[in-house]
Amino acid sequence: MSSVQFTITHKLDGTLARAGKIATPHGSIQTPAFIVGGTKATVKALTPQQVDELGGQAVLANTYHLMLQPGAAVVHEGGGLGAYMHWSKPTFTDSGGFQVFSLGMAYKKGIDATSHSEKGSGDLATHSTHQLAKVTDDGVTFRSHLDGTKLTMTPESSMELQHAIGADIHMAFDEATSPLAGRQYLRQSLDRTHLWAERSLKQHNKLNEQHREHDEPEQALFGIVQGGREEDYRRESAQLLGHMDFDGYGVGGVYEPGEISHVVRWVNETLPEHKPRHLLGMGAQPADLFLGVEFGIDTFDCVAPTRQARNGALYTYSGRINIKNARFVHDFTPIDTNCDCYTCQHFTRSYVHHLFKADEILGAVLASIHNERFIVSTIDHIRESLMDGSFYAYKQTFLNQYYGAAHAKTYLS
Ligand SMILES: [Zn+2]
């Protein structure tokens, strides 16, 4: 039996949308849910208590970063991810595949690594692009962004690392393809991802058996569906992985909210209905959340809310603002009068503006609390709207107000 149990409690008639619950050894996640980005076993600028208070239900850490620093063995010695970072609720890790690949591809294509790293990879963008990932059917060879050490990751080693880190839910090792990859390369890559899915699952089952023998909690593994923007590849991938004994599924390689209504739909129309589905590296834009849910996604993760917060880019219900802008000097209202977060209850735009201008670290803390709460609260309302049947009305009102009617149209058709 799987170590996580997924229950669907509500479905929105005639759509793929559902609300439910994922029960894990560390408590339940009410879905749809935003999984807070905890890349290096920390949600940047926030204590676990603050993450809990703003309604965070689970955090997602990154295997690539933790294998380099402090090392998966250290996290294991510290009691596993949750105990090590003092987070008692559910935890996720991603396989490390995305980070290992993103810089290699950025290097090969001669494009800016920033656009990739924004999708949830942590801080790779700040490092030079002399690294190059080399892919074979066995695995990937790459260089550490910290000291250039040459390393190899295979499906088996990714499983070993993720079991040592010990999250409740972890991800199969897949090949993350560039949004620029053509059909021919996608074919080759997809075959590899499917082969790696089988190898990941085999190694994962072996490691879970060891957990059982040692009376340790077992972990759950999600398979990752790839296939770019090609409908036949996406459906094939969902079909093939759907027949394998994964505990749930991740949808990888989706880069824009506009892709959700077709790419995610193809996948979720094909995957088995009774298993949870995670959209990897999306959720920085409210449109991601509404469209993801509408097309059958249960959980999201993204590091962008805190990253944007540290840059002074703050969500409000009428769109994003940059708090560093001079127009806020004399603005003594909250970031958003409709937000119930700690920041908005106690501080003004003027004060947060001042903290940013004076380079005070409290600015990053208050901004991060607000942005995370904004996203978490939005997904909470989406969940409630699925339960009482008001999803489409809520979607329309929210997106019109956030993006303006003209832009919102793109997401409302
Ligand atoms: Zn707020």
pTM for the whole structure: 0.92
pLDDT of residue 75: 98
Q: Which fold has domain 5-93+146-302?
A: TIM Barrel (3.20.20)
Q: Assess whether pLDDT exceeds 90 at residue 98.
A: no
pLDDT band at 58 (very low <50, low <70, confident <90, very high): very high
Q: Which residues are catalytic?
A: 94, 301
Ligand 1 center to 342 CA (angstroms):
7
pLDDT digits (tens, 9 = 90+) for 9-51: 999 999 999 999 999 999 999 999 999 999 999 999 999 999 9
| pLDDT-based confidence at residue 129 (cuts at 50, 70, 90) | very low
HSE of 55 in the Cβ direction (CA atoms, 13 Å)? 20
Q: Are 236 and 195 in contact (CB under 8 A)?
A: no
Least confident of 28-37, 103-112, 307-316: 103-112
d(CA 60, CA 94): 7
Residue 241 pLDDT class (50, 70, 90 cuts)? very high
Q: Which helix (H) or strand (E) holds 57?
A: none
The mean predicted confidence, pLDDT, of the chain is 92
Res 110: pLDDT: 44
Round to whole Å and give the CA distance between 63 and 37: 12
Confidence of residue 149 (pLDDT cuts 50, 70, 90): confident
Burial of 217 (0-12, 13-18, 19+ CB in 10 A): middle
Report CA(370)–ligand 1 centroid distance (Å). Answer: 4
State residue 226's pLDDT score.
97
Which residue would you say has higher pLDDT here, 147 or 49?
49
**From-to residues of CATH 3.20.20.105 in the chain:** 5-93+146-302
Cα angle 153, 157, 160; round to 5: 150
Q: Could you tell me the distance, in angstroms and rounded to a whole number, from the CA of residue 322 to the centre of ligand 1?
A: 14
Q: Angle at the Cα of 272 (from 267 to 275), degrees rounded to 5? A: 100
- Cα 341 to averaged position of ligand 1 atoms, centre (Å): 4
**Residues above pLDDT 70, as percent of the chain:** 93
What is the tens place of the pLDDT at every residue in 161-210?
Answer: 999 999 999 999 999 888 888 999 999 999 999 999 999 999 999 999 99
Q: Find how far residue 57's CA is from the centre of its chain.
A: 13
CA distances from 305 to 103, 214, 354 (A): 22, 39, 20
Give the pLDDT of residue 128. Answer: 36
Q: Is the dihedral of CA 302, 306, 312, 314 positive or negative?
A: positive
CA 369 / ligand 1 centre spacing (Å): 7
Average pLDDT over residues 268-296: 96
pLDDT for res 103:
57
100 pLDDT more than 90: no
335 CA distance to ligand 1 middle (Å): 6
Looking at per-residue confidence, does 236 or 412 come out higher? 236
> Residue 116: its pLDDT value, please?
39
Span 274-302, mean pLDDT?
Answer: 96
Residue 45 Cα to ligand 1 midpoint, Å, equals 15
Query: Residue 362: pLDDT above 90?
Result: yes
Distance 385 CA to ligand 1 centre (A): 21
Which tokens hold the place of 148?
A: 């250039």
Q: How far apart are CA 71 and CA 309, in angstroms?
A: 28
CB 55 within 8 A of CB 377: yes
pLDDT of residue 407: 93
Residue 374 alpha carbon to ligand 1 centre in Å: 6
